[in-house]
Amino acid sequence: MFSKTCEYGLRAVIFIAQQAKTNEKVGINTISEAIDSPQAFTAKILQQLTKNKIIESIKGPYGGFFIDEKRLNKIALSNIVQVLDGDSIYTGCGLGLHQCNDKKPCPLHFKFIEIRENLKKMLENTTLLELSSDKALADYYLKN
Amino acid sequence: MFSKTCEYGLRAVIFIAQQAKTNEKVGINTISEAIDSPQAFTAKILQQLTKNKIIESIKGPYGGFFIDEKRLNKIALSNIVQVLDGDSIYTGCGLGLHQCNDKKPCPLHFKFIEIRENLKKMLENTTLLELSSDKALADYYLKN
DNA sequence: TTAATAAAAGATAAATTCATCTTTTATTAA
DNA sequence: TTAATAAAAGATGAATTTATCTTTTATTAA
């Protein structure tokens, strides 16, 4: 469904969001260990997310990645997916045809639209606030 | 959503299904031209589908690929996706976690289940019969 | 201002997916 | 039985995605 990049990115951001309440920054080392992802690769992904203002970072000692608690309800999963995987999930034709749309639909066009709309709405309606609220639970299961 | 392999495969099978009514076999050349896909690559995919009894093939002059018209209503898109992409689409965790299930759910588990169930049902309920019935329409748009 | 820390940036490497080319096997008609 | 046709099978190559390693830049405390 998502690329590895996007999967790691989502997991990392959810983890960082869970630390937002304590206002603590987390280093890449801590993050990649917590979410069980390759460290250097995850660092690259977080770099992208930082550039795109999804998360923030500070270099040097006591530095790390963080998210302003007040923004937790502003950041939806769709924002993260958009940065890392673009909008191919929403827009691409299920059969890979370039010119597939309402006026020139592939044989499956309208069936796919329904599925994709559901996915889109789900990602748009799920914010980091929601995912970071039940910290203990989410925190635990994020590792498995 | 699907791999290229699966996209080409779906397009090819839908095309072959559309020829089933006339009981005509189609060659790989005709197929790859019709669905605008790389020929040799598509041939490999059709080989897989033949091994897995989704389609049938006969070698030599007057040979080619075909589907028994009587089986059109037995073959669902889910069968094709299963052969080419496995069941990762249905079963895989949205966040890429290995041990994500109802008892140990990732933070998004139950939201993803809903989406995936929709997709699964759609693929299971869409048969080649349906897709081959409006031949003129489907045939035309399959190329774009 | 120096040493330590941590992210940013750039280069490179491994793995996987996508794609092609060549040889072999089966089938048909002449 | 031979030549032609078309899929099967195997080998190889290109592109993309995934992943790592090294160097640079920013920040902090001593």
Is the four-CA dihedral A5, A9, A10, A11 of positive or negative sign? positive
Rounded distance, CA A4 to CA A37, Å? 10
- CA A46, C1' C7: Å apart? 10
Question: Looking at beta carbons, which residues of chain A come within 8 Å of B101?
Answer: none
Q: Is the pLDDT of residue A136 over 50?
A: no
Supply B120's token pair. 């699964």
pLDDT of residue B85: 96
Supply A62's token pair. 């006591």
Return the minimum-mean-pLDDT range out of A29-33, A72-76, B108-112, B132-136: B132-136
pLDDT tens digits for B46-105?
999 999 999 999 999 999 999 999 999 999 999 999 999 998 888 778 888 777 888 888
pLDDT of residue B140: 47
ipTM of the complex: 0.89
Q: Which domain holds residue A103?
A: 4-141
Tally of domains within chain B: 1
Which residue of B lies nearest to A127 if distances are taken between CA atoms?
A: B108
Q: Which domain CATH number covers A59?
A: 1.10.10.10
Q: Using a cut of 0.80, tell me whether the model's pTM lies above it.
A: yes
Closest residue (CA to C1') to nucleotide C22 in the complex: B40
Nucleotides of D under 7 A from a protein CB: 4-11, 17-22, 25-29
Q: Shortest CA distance to B89 belongs to which of B55, B115, B109?
A: B115
